[in-house]
Amino acid sequence: MNRLKLVALKLDRVPVLAGGLSIMLGVFEELGVEYADTTDAALRLGVLYDLLGHSQHQDMRMVTVEGFKRRYGVDATQADRIGELAISFYDQLGEPEEDQGEESRMFLAWAASLHEIGLSIAHSAYHKHSAYIASNADMPGFSRTDQARLAALVLGHAGKLGKLAQARDIDWTLLFCLRLAALLSRRRTDVGLPGIEVRAAGGGFEVRLPNDWVTNNPLTDYSLTQEAMEWEKIGRPYRVVYTDD
């Protein structure tokens, strides 16, 4: 290696040349690759290309999520149902800056699309399996921060909220919308939901439903009561109001 002289080969690259060449030859042989070319582009250019795709609605993250839905056999109808309902709740809570709002809507849709991928592992505690996959899988287009944010939503869409009390990557507003949408969509049908109003109130949330509908859906009424208790446990007010409309 000390006698090796190649044009444009930097001295600090000389010690790793043989190892890198061995790995590349192994990959070529294993994958049947016959030809490769070099590029002058670097990682920073790939990042800029990805950001450009975001702004022109060619987001690689969307492609990745669609691929995961197919791979894990997601019930696309149910995922879309929950995503659309969650986004409608988010829009009721007030419009943030447009860029932030659009990004949040996308994350709600992606979380809804991936929240049941853990069912491919086990029905018991499936939300934990879903979150593990979202945290650790190779997801092109998603930064590690994106994946942590997505995994937190997937983990928190069901079960107790105490597990997220100290989480750094959780957006409580998005989680409220996703949990409420999932709770109200347990029948996995498009019929039966009344007009539901939500708003932010006192550092927490308020849900308003028609009294007649609640009376005819006692299980949902009970679930909403339990949901309010979960939010109260982590110090966030959650009020369910029954109206006569």
Sorted by where each starts, the structural domains of the chain and their CATH numbers stand as 60-243 (1.10.3210.10)
More confident call, 98 vs 140: 140
Number of Cβ atoms within 10 Å of the Cβ of 131: 25
Q: Across-strand partners of 238?
A: 205
| Maximum average pLDDT range among 10-24, 70-84, 130-144, 158-172 | 70-84
DSSP annotation of 57: T
Q: Across-strand partners of 206?
A: 199, 239
Ordered DSSP codes for 138-187:
--TT--HHHHHHHHHHHHHTSS-SGGGTT-SS--HHHHHHHHHHHHHTTT
Please give the single-letter amino acid code of residue 189.
Answer: T
pTM greater than the 0.85 cutoff? no
Angle between helices 98-114 and 126-136 (to 10 degrees): 120
- Provide the phi-psi class of 97: left if phi over 0, else alpha when psi is between -120 and 50, else beta: beta
pLDDT, tens only, 201-239: 888 999 999 999 999 999 999 999 999 999 999 999 999
Q: Are 194 and 244 in contact (CB under 8 A)?
A: no
How many angstroms separate the CA atoms of 129 and 119, rounded? Answer: 8
Residue 49's pLDDT is what? Answer: 64
Residue 234's pLDDT is what? Answer: 92
Tokens matching residue 42: 């670097």
Q: In what order do the strands lie in the sheet with 204-210?
A: 197-201, 204-210, 238-243
pLDDT, tens only, 22-53: 999 999 999 999 998 887 767 776 667 666 66
pLDDT, tens only, 68-123: 999 999 999 999 999 999 999 999 998 666 667 888 999 999 999 999 999 999 99
Candidates 231, 150, 217, 233; CA nearest to 184 is 217
Terminal alpha carbon distance of the chain: 82
Please give the single-letter amino acid code of residue 174.
Answer: L
Q: What is the CA radius of gyration of the chain?
A: 24
Q: Across-strand partners of 201?
A: 204
Q: Across-strand partners of 243?
A: 210
